[in-house]
Structure 1
Amino acid sequence: MLQKESSGLIKGIHHISMKCETEEELVRVKEFYMDILGLKICREWDGGLMLDTGNGLIEIFTNQAGEHQLGVIRHIALLTEDVDGIVIKVREAGYEVFVEPNDVDIPANPVYPIRMAFCYGPLGEQIEFFCER
């Protein structure tokens, strides 16, 4: 786990943001993040909501039309203690897992041993399920 330091101007990541184009997308997003992954709404307003991940927020805008595009941010990583269990739930809900659960030793100094898997979310976002081992 990263150690917290308070010496800089940035104190952490507050939230990531996604948007739904239709009411149907919003229903799928709520079902995925709330019913399958178990996140809770911490704020809701006309046109948006925020879901609590435990150490950051996912903001969902619900009032904008537009084209979904994958930008320079490639994925979001959600910390879990059970990568395999979440992958089972995600797959049973019909979502594509495109990287199966596996152990990786990131060749850092020191070596960083993790377990991880990836799936596509309801808006096409790439989600990594991540656990230190």
Structure 2
Amino acid sequence: MGTNAKIGGGGFHHVALRAYDFEATLKFYTEGLGFQERFGWGEGNSRIRLLDCGDGNYLEVFAGGDSPTKPDGAYFHVAFRSEDVDGAVKAAVAAGAVVTVEPKDVVLQGNPPTPVRIAFVQGLNGETIEFFQSTGDHKL
């Protein structure tokens, strides 16, 4: 784990990409760039895959993009690892962020089902920041 005490350990976890062509995007990153699929869940336009970039950090690919280009781009949030999501949110708010999704526990419905704690804030420039904590035995 990282050494950033303000957000509970910290470190980069993932960037999320909404894919216009999900299968082609997976092929590009896995076969073309050598990323490894580590975890996935959902079906149809709700499919999501976590691809390991090679150092334990991830590209999270979402299905369901509706056009090849979007005015706000295909990347829609950045996530940071934390051992204390609630504390990370408090630190972000104290620094001027606005909470958009309160801290909550969810189970990613993959194989195996994986419990995590997450929260989202909006940064000073409108950027979406997720704090991500693996809470079960299967660490992401």
Q: Could you tell me the TM-score, scaled by structure 2's length?
A: 0.47
- Larger Rg, first or second structure (1 or 2): 1
